[in-house]
Amino acid sequence: MSSTPRGPAIFVADAPALDFLNSIATPVDEPVDWIEDGAGWLAWLKQSGWVEDAVLERLQAQAMPGELENVAAQARSLREWFRGFVLKYKGKPLDASVLTELEALNRLLERDEKYTQITLQTGATPSLAAQLQRRWRSPDSLLLPLGEVLAQFVSTEDFSNVKCCEGHACTLMFVDHTRGRKRRWCSMAVCGNRAKAAAHRERQKNLGV
């Protein structure tokens, strides 16, 4: 993998599960993996907003040597497995036949430990509310919200709208929620403008300018 500085992670997919797949991408010329190591994995989770900062800091402080590296490796393996699944079925609705292919995801979800707590909701009139909590027992538990996001994606998203960016060499994916489903680029500011510039140069070339 390139030593290109990571910079801010990319969140343009309009679907958290695909933002996770986009945690490895080629924003300029060389591929960048935002979860290439344990530090990158924590930084990416912080930017995603899936896990509270206090939880990330506590688990980082408690981690044994190499433990976060191992969890990051598991996250990368899950990412590439899920990428294969999405590429296989994008462009068409999912049906019941795919359930057996999601067994690995279900096994991850089985590890989750959630419980409900009565909490006080602040405001003009404080009130009681039942709030779902999660036990963060070890760095491995950082995979649990990821499993939840992927499960939500396969159970609620229409795979007919899942697309790959048409930009040259771009590897980013997204869900097209636009009217008419005409989105072609990960971002008009990046790949869209590059395509427009390339088309302009081709027209000028054909005109002999």
Tell me: the pLDDT tens digits for 147-186? 999 999 999 999 999 999 998 888 899 999 999 999 998 8
What distance in Å separates the CA atoms of residue 23 and residue 44, rounded to the nearest whole number?
Answer: 8
Q: 60-64, 79-83, 177-181, 186-190: which has the minimum mean pLDDT?
A: 186-190
pLDDT, tens digit, 9 for 90 and up, residues 21-51 = 999 998 777 889 999 999 999 999 999 999 9
pTM as predicted:
0.86
Q: What is the C-alpha to C-alpha distance for residues 14 and 99, in angstroms, rounded to an integer?
A: 24
Supply the DSSP string of 94-110, one letter for each residue.
--GGGGGGGHHHHHHHH
Residue 200 has pLDDT above 70, yes or no: no
pLDDT of residue 205: 58
Tokens read off for 187? 């971002």
Structure-model confidence comparison of residues 22 and 208, the more confident one: 22
**C-alpha 151, offset from chain centre:** 12
Cβ contacts of residue 184 below 8 Å, gap of 6+?
Answer: 163, 165, 166, 192
- Which of 4, 6, 92, 84 minimizes the C-alpha distance to 41? 6
Q: Which architecture, in CATH terms, is 16-183?
A: Orthogonal Bundle (1.10)
Q: Give domain limits for the chain.
A: 16-183
Q: What is the mean pLDDT of the chain?
A: 89
